[in-house]
Amino acid sequence: MRIDAVELAIVRLPLVRPFETSFGRMSGREFVLVAVRHDDAVGWGECVADVDPFYSAETTATAWHVMSRYLIPAMLGDRVADPRELPAAWRVVRGHRMAKAALEMAAWDLQARLENRPLCELLGAAARPIPAGVSIGIHPTLEALVDRVGEELAQGYRRIKIKIKPGWDRAPVEAIRRAHGDVPLMVDANAAYRLDDAAALTALDAFNLMMIEQPLDYDDLVRHARLQARLTTSLCLDESIKGVEAAEDALDLGACRIINIKPGRMGGISATLAVHDLARTRGVPLWHGGMLESGIGRAHNLHISTLPGFTMPGDIAASRRYFVPDLIDPPIEVGPDGAVPVPPGAGIGVVPVPDRLRAATIHTERFAS
């Protein structure tokens, strides 16, 4: 797989509605979009890093810096024969997994297009409808939240996840249970709690939640293990699962019973396959997370979600919840059965609409071999 050129763009898209988590309120996304070229074929990737270092240490600016200065020079020309070789080619660069993932995933898309196969087949899986869940932000009132949950259930989503933080945890869960009964429900704290706050989390054991996602610090497996020992509800880790070693440590320590896989957070598809295989061997349920990606990142997520270890609905929602219009056309849609079809065709099956991409792009740079 000779790589003739890599193009980076900073793309800015406003969100349909603001999304509030324990770490802040997001009203748009500003991300690095990657195009990797071989002759006329193009592979696409989307970096999940945000402008602010709140979900993780990486940002749009650090991703740009590390890609342009270190990662792209190591992948241009004939330096790698296959996307599987990229992690080793980049091993000298510590961390920066989001930057690596965007380039690596674009290279996988390119490889699949060159073989004229859907990405899911290159991964050893086959297209299947992907059960969709929805991630709902912190709302100004309980009434507004309960209404929003009702609207999403009416769209067909198969599980509801709400964002929580200290002071917004028991009451919203109780309100949803009262209004909507025993719907599949989980909460995501994005690392907002300390072990000292355990009482607020053990109080959630009364509500039959599917799981509590990432209550403690982004880097803290040991305290998650102590917390899990005090909870009947399963913990799921997101931020803490940086790769296969962290996943193995988390399972060995008992820090979680469920894993949220985000290739964009873990360094890409090779890391995802490793965590997937580990979790399957150990009988650990997986689901595919989301990072408010445009249709490019979301199409990658759908193809990856076809792997057999993804046994729970993911944060894989319709384009219209995030961006109108999306960068891709047709947009990603959820069927009345609460499942999303995998985009058919070679690679990830979608490309950005040129006019829309141009209108959303604020900076570009091209690197050629």
- Distance CA(171)–CA(183), nearest Å, equals 16
The residue length of the chain stands at 369
Is residue 188 a contact residue for Mg ion (CB under 5 A)?
yes
The residues in 278-337 that bind Mg ion, with binding defined as CB under 5 A, are none
Q: What is the DSSP secondary-structure string of 230-280?
A: H-SSPEEESTT--SHHHHHHHHHHT--SEEEE-HHHHTSHHHHHHHHHHHH
Tell me which stretch binds ligand OSB (CB under 6 A): 83-91, 102-110, 289-297, 347-355.
Answer: 289-297
Catalytically annotated residue among 161, 163, 165, 242: 163
Distance (Å, whole) CA 92 – CA 113: 29
Burial 161-189, CB ≥16 within 10 A → b, else e:
bbbbbeebbeebbebbbeeeeebebbbbb
Q: What is d(CA 2, CA 157) in angstroms, rounded to the nearest whole number?
A: 41
3-state secondary structure of 45: strand
The pair of structure tokens assigned to 55 is 């979900």
163 is catalytic: yes
Among the residue ranges 32-40, 172-180, 288-296, 349-357, the one whose residues contact ligand OSB (CB under 6 A): 288-296
Write out the binding residues for ligand OSB, residues 153-212 only, by CB under 6 A: 188, 190
Of residues 58 and 213, the one with the C-beta less far from Mg ion: 213
**Residue 155 · residue 319 · CB < 8 Å:** no
Least spacing, CB of residue 189 vs Mg ion, in Å = 8
Closest-CA residue to 276 (of 286, 267, 268)? 286
Residue 148 CB, shortest distance to ligand OSB, in Å, is 13
- The stretch among 98-106, 170-178, 286-294, 360-368 that binds ligand OSB (CB under 6 A) is 286-294
Does 290 participate in binding ligand OSB (rule CB under 6 A)? yes
Q: Of 79-87, 96-104, 212-220, 331-339, which segment contacts Mg ion by CB under 5 A? A: 212-220
Measured from the CB of residue 188, what is the shortest distance to ligand OSB in angstroms?
Answer: 5
The yes-or-no answer on residue 262 being catalytic is yes
Nearest-approach distance from CB 8 to ligand OSB, in angstroms: 21
| Three-state DSSP state, 6 | strand
Among 185, 284, 291, 307, binds ligand OSB (CB under 6 A): 291
Is residue 303 within 8 Å of residue 348, measured between CB atoms? yes
Q: Using CB atoms within 10 A of its CB, is residue 89 exposed (0-12), middle (13-18) or buried (19+)?
A: middle
Binding of ligand OSB by 47 (CB under 6 A): no
Binding-site size for ligand OSB (CB under 6 A) equals: 11
20 binds ligand OSB (CB under 6 A): no
Report 234-273 residues binding Mg ion (CB under 5 A): 238
According to the binding rule CB under 6 A, does residue 292 interact with ligand OSB? yes
Per DSSP, the residues of 317-329 read: --GGGT-SS-SSS
> Which positions are annotated as active-site residues?
163, 262
Question: Where on the chain is the footprint of Mg ion (CB under 5 A)?
Answer: 188, 213, 238
Question: Residue numbers of the site for ligand OSB (CB under 6 A)?
Answer: 55, 135, 188, 190, 238, 289-292, 315, 317
